[in-house]
Amino acid sequence: MMVIVEKKAHKSSLASKRLQGVLEIWEREKSAYNYHRLFICAHHHGKKIRAAWIRANESAFDYVEQELVKTLSKVSSFEVEMLHSPVLHQLNPSAKNQCNSLRGQRAMEIDLGGKTIRWPSRGAYASSNNAIRQWMATVCLGRAARSFGREQLESIASKNLKYNIATTYIKNGDQSYIWTNGSAKLGATDFPLMDIKRLPK
Protein backbone atom coordinates (compact mmCIF):
# COMPACT_ATOMS: atom_id res chain seq x y z
CA MET A 1 0.00 0.00 0.00
CA MET A 2 1.42 3.39 -0.98
CA VAL A 3 0.06 6.74 0.20
CA ILE A 4 1.45 10.14 -0.76
CA VAL A 5 0.29 12.96 1.52
CA GLU A 6 1.10 16.61 0.98
CA LYS A 7 2.14 18.80 3.88
CA LYS A 8 2.32 22.56 4.07
CA ALA A 9 4.88 24.42 6.14
CA HIS A 10 3.55 23.71 9.60
CA LYS A 11 2.86 20.75 11.82
CA SER A 12 -0.92 21.21 12.05
CA SER A 13 -1.46 21.06 8.29
CA LEU A 14 -4.01 18.84 6.58
CA ALA A 15 -1.22 16.61 5.29
CA SER A 16 0.15 16.07 8.78
CA LYS A 17 -3.34 15.08 9.89
CA ARG A 18 -3.54 12.67 6.96
CA LEU A 19 -0.25 11.13 8.01
CA GLN A 20 -1.71 10.68 11.48
CA GLY A 21 -4.69 8.98 9.85
CA VAL A 22 -2.41 6.58 7.98
CA LEU A 23 -0.61 5.77 11.23
CA GLU A 24 -3.97 5.05 12.87
CA ILE A 25 -4.74 2.55 10.09
CA TRP A 26 -1.32 0.96 10.59
CA GLU A 27 -1.77 0.57 14.33
CA ARG A 28 -5.35 -0.65 14.04
CA GLU A 29 -4.87 -3.16 11.22
CA LYS A 30 -1.26 -4.35 11.44
CA SER A 31 -2.16 -7.52 13.33
CA ALA A 32 -5.19 -8.43 11.23
CA TYR A 33 -3.38 -7.95 7.91
CA ASN A 34 -0.01 -9.27 9.02
CA TYR A 35 1.74 -5.95 8.42
CA HIS A 36 5.43 -6.52 8.98
CA ARG A 37 7.15 -3.15 8.63
CA LEU A 38 6.17 0.45 8.01
CA PHE A 39 8.31 2.64 5.75
CA ILE A 40 8.03 6.43 6.09
CA CYS A 41 9.96 8.79 3.83
CA ALA A 42 9.81 12.57 4.29
CA HIS A 43 10.44 14.82 1.27
CA HIS A 44 10.98 18.53 0.76
CA HIS A 45 9.90 19.51 -2.76
CA GLY A 46 10.84 16.07 -4.07
CA LYS A 47 14.15 15.77 -2.23
CA LYS A 48 14.42 13.07 0.38
CA ILE A 49 14.98 14.45 3.89
CA ARG A 50 14.71 11.37 6.05
CA ALA A 51 13.45 7.80 5.85
CA ALA A 52 12.67 5.27 8.53
CA TRP A 53 11.65 1.64 8.89
CA ILE A 54 9.33 0.83 11.82
CA ARG A 55 8.71 -2.73 12.99
CA ALA A 56 5.20 -3.96 13.72
CA ASN A 57 5.98 -4.33 17.43
CA GLU A 58 6.96 -0.64 17.64
CA SER A 59 4.63 2.35 17.98
CA ALA A 60 4.62 4.42 14.81
CA PHE A 61 3.17 7.38 16.71
CA ASP A 62 6.00 7.31 19.24
CA TYR A 63 8.61 7.09 16.48
CA VAL A 64 7.19 10.06 14.55
CA GLU A 65 6.92 12.11 17.74
CA GLN A 66 10.44 11.32 18.91
CA GLU A 67 12.44 11.00 15.69
CA LEU A 68 10.67 13.10 13.05
CA VAL A 69 9.37 16.03 15.11
CA LYS A 70 12.33 18.25 14.10
CA THR A 71 11.82 17.35 10.45
CA LEU A 72 8.09 18.07 10.19
CA SER A 73 8.47 21.80 9.60
CA LYS A 74 10.57 21.13 6.46
CA VAL A 75 8.44 18.38 4.94
CA SER A 76 6.36 19.03 1.81
CA SER A 77 5.26 15.40 1.26
CA PHE A 78 5.33 11.98 2.88
CA GLU A 79 5.60 8.55 1.27
CA VAL A 80 4.26 5.67 3.35
CA GLU A 81 4.63 1.97 2.58
CA MET A 82 3.00 -0.85 4.56
CA LEU A 83 4.80 -4.14 3.99
CA HIS A 84 2.91 -7.33 4.78
CA SER A 85 2.95 -11.11 4.43
CA PRO A 86 6.73 -11.63 4.52
CA VAL A 87 8.05 -14.77 2.82
CA LEU A 88 11.47 -16.16 3.73
CA HIS A 89 13.75 -17.45 0.97
CA GLN A 90 17.20 -18.91 1.36
CA LEU A 91 19.31 -17.45 -1.43
CA ASN A 92 22.64 -18.68 -2.72
CA PRO A 93 24.80 -15.61 -3.58
CA SER A 94 26.77 -17.62 -6.14
CA ALA A 95 23.68 -18.75 -8.09
CA LYS A 96 22.55 -16.78 -11.14
CA ASN A 97 19.21 -15.00 -11.69
CA GLN A 98 17.50 -16.35 -8.60
CA CYS A 99 17.00 -12.98 -6.87
CA ASN A 100 14.79 -11.62 -9.65
CA SER A 101 12.58 -14.70 -9.59
CA LEU A 102 12.20 -14.85 -5.81
CA ARG A 103 12.04 -11.22 -4.73
CA GLY A 104 8.84 -9.67 -3.41
CA GLN A 105 6.34 -7.72 -5.47
CA ARG A 106 6.92 -4.50 -3.54
CA ALA A 107 10.07 -4.79 -1.47
CA MET A 108 12.91 -7.05 -0.45
CA GLU A 109 14.90 -7.47 2.73
CA ILE A 110 18.30 -9.12 2.40
CA ASP A 111 20.24 -10.36 5.41
CA LEU A 112 23.78 -11.44 4.58
CA GLY A 113 26.67 -11.78 6.97
CA GLY A 114 24.88 -9.88 9.71
CA LYS A 115 24.08 -6.89 7.46
CA THR A 116 20.48 -6.15 6.50
CA ILE A 117 19.50 -4.12 3.43
CA ARG A 118 15.87 -3.17 2.51
CA TRP A 119 13.59 -1.74 -0.31
CA PRO A 120 11.79 0.35 -1.44
CA SER A 121 14.74 2.60 -0.49
CA ARG A 122 18.47 1.89 -0.44
CA GLY A 123 19.21 5.20 1.23
CA ALA A 124 21.32 6.28 -1.75
CA TYR A 125 20.82 8.42 -4.83
CA ALA A 126 21.54 7.21 -8.35
CA SER A 127 23.66 9.60 -10.39
CA SER A 128 22.87 7.88 -13.70
CA ASN A 129 20.23 9.10 -16.12
CA ASN A 130 17.31 6.96 -17.27
CA ALA A 131 15.31 7.82 -20.38
CA ILE A 132 12.30 5.74 -19.34
CA ARG A 133 12.00 7.63 -16.04
CA GLN A 134 12.48 10.95 -17.83
CA TRP A 135 9.62 10.20 -20.21
CA MET A 136 7.44 8.80 -17.43
CA ALA A 137 7.86 12.13 -15.63
CA THR A 138 6.94 13.98 -18.84
CA VAL A 139 3.74 11.96 -19.21
CA CYS A 140 2.83 12.53 -15.54
CA LEU A 141 3.47 16.28 -15.77
CA GLY A 142 1.29 16.53 -18.85
CA ARG A 143 -1.56 14.65 -17.20
CA ALA A 144 -1.27 16.77 -14.06
CA ALA A 145 -1.37 19.94 -16.17
CA ARG A 146 -4.56 18.78 -17.90
CA SER A 147 -6.18 17.60 -14.66
CA PHE A 148 -5.53 20.77 -12.67
CA GLY A 149 -5.70 23.22 -15.57
CA ARG A 150 -2.82 25.31 -14.26
CA GLU A 151 -0.66 27.42 -16.55
CA GLN A 152 2.43 26.90 -14.40
CA LEU A 153 2.13 23.10 -14.70
CA GLU A 154 1.53 23.40 -18.44
CA SER A 155 4.70 25.48 -18.79
CA ILE A 156 6.74 22.98 -16.78
CA ALA A 157 5.35 20.03 -18.75
CA SER A 158 6.11 21.78 -22.04
CA LYS A 159 9.71 22.56 -21.00
CA ASN A 160 10.18 18.97 -19.85
CA LEU A 161 8.88 17.64 -23.15
CA LYS A 162 11.17 19.93 -25.17
CA TYR A 163 14.17 18.92 -23.04
CA ASN A 164 13.53 15.21 -23.53
CA ILE A 165 13.07 15.63 -27.27
CA ALA A 166 16.29 17.65 -27.52
CA THR A 167 18.35 15.17 -25.48
CA THR A 168 16.96 11.72 -26.29
CA TYR A 169 14.83 11.89 -29.46
CA ILE A 170 16.60 10.78 -32.64
CA LYS A 171 15.08 10.89 -36.15
CA ASN A 172 16.68 8.81 -38.89
CA GLY A 173 14.77 9.07 -42.14
CA ASP A 174 11.31 7.63 -41.61
CA GLN A 175 12.32 6.11 -38.30
CA SER A 176 12.67 7.74 -34.90
CA TYR A 177 13.59 6.41 -31.49
CA ILE A 178 14.68 7.33 -27.96
CA TRP A 179 18.45 7.06 -27.58
CA THR A 180 20.26 6.99 -24.25
CA ASN A 181 23.46 5.51 -22.87
CA GLY A 182 24.46 4.07 -26.23
CA SER A 183 21.25 2.19 -27.06
CA ALA A 184 17.60 2.60 -28.06
CA LYS A 185 15.12 1.15 -25.57
CA LEU A 186 11.68 -0.06 -26.64
CA GLY A 187 10.25 0.79 -23.22
CA ALA A 188 11.48 4.37 -23.48
CA THR A 189 9.67 4.71 -26.82
CA ASP A 190 6.35 3.46 -25.45
CA PHE A 191 5.81 6.42 -23.13
CA PRO A 192 6.20 9.17 -25.75
CA LEU A 193 3.86 7.27 -28.08
CA MET A 194 1.34 6.76 -25.28
CA ASP A 195 0.80 10.38 -24.42
CA ILE A 196 2.97 12.76 -26.45
CA LYS A 197 0.08 14.03 -28.63
CA ARG A 198 -1.88 15.07 -25.56
CA LEU A 199 0.91 16.96 -23.84
CA PRO A 200 0.92 20.80 -23.83
CA LYS A 201 2.83 22.26 -26.77
Could you read off the pLDDT of 133-189 as tens digits, one per residue? 788 888 888 888 888 777 888 888 888 888 888 888 888 888 888 887 777 767 667
Asked whether residue 18 is domain-assigned, the answer is yes
Which whole number is the average pLDDT over 54-58? 91
State which residues form the domain around 50: 2-86
Q: What's the domain count of the chain?
A: 2
- What percent of the chain stands above pLDDT 70? 70
Model confidence at 2, pLDDT cuts 50, 70, 90, reads very low
- CA 135/CA 174 separation, integer angstroms: 22
Domain end: 61, 86, 111, which one?
Answer: 86
pLDDT at 11 over 50: no
pLDDT at residue 130 is higher than 60? yes
Binned at pLDDT 50, 70 and 90, residue 5 comes out as: very low
Q: Is the pLDDT of residue 4 over 80?
A: no
What are the backbone angles phi and psi of residue 97, rounded to the nearest 5°? Answer: 65, 10
Q: Is the pLDDT of residue 121 over 60?
A: no
Domain termination residue (choose one: 27, 55, 86)? 86
**Residue 61 placed within a domain:** yes
* pLDDT at residue number 6: 42
β-bridge pairing 77-84 and 169-172? unpaired
Residues 77 and 16 in one domain: yes
Q: How far, rounded to the nearest angstrom, does the alpha carbon of residue 36 sit from its chain's CA centroid?
A: 20
Per-chain mean pLDDT for the chain? 75
| Per-residue pLDDT at 104 | 54
Assign 201 to helix, strand or coil.
Answer: coil
Q: Is residue 50 part of a domain?
A: yes
102: in domain: no
Identify the domain boundary among 65, 86, 107: 86
More confident residue, 46 or 96: 46
Instruction: Report the distance separating Cα 45 and Cα 113, nearest Å.
Output: 37
> Does 55 have pLDDT greater than 60?
yes
Q: What pLDDT, on the 0 to 100 scale, is given for residue 63?
A: 85
CA 2 from chain center: how many Å? Answer: 9
- pLDDT of 115 reads 80
- The three-class DSSP label of residue 188 is helix
d(CA 27, CA 60): 7
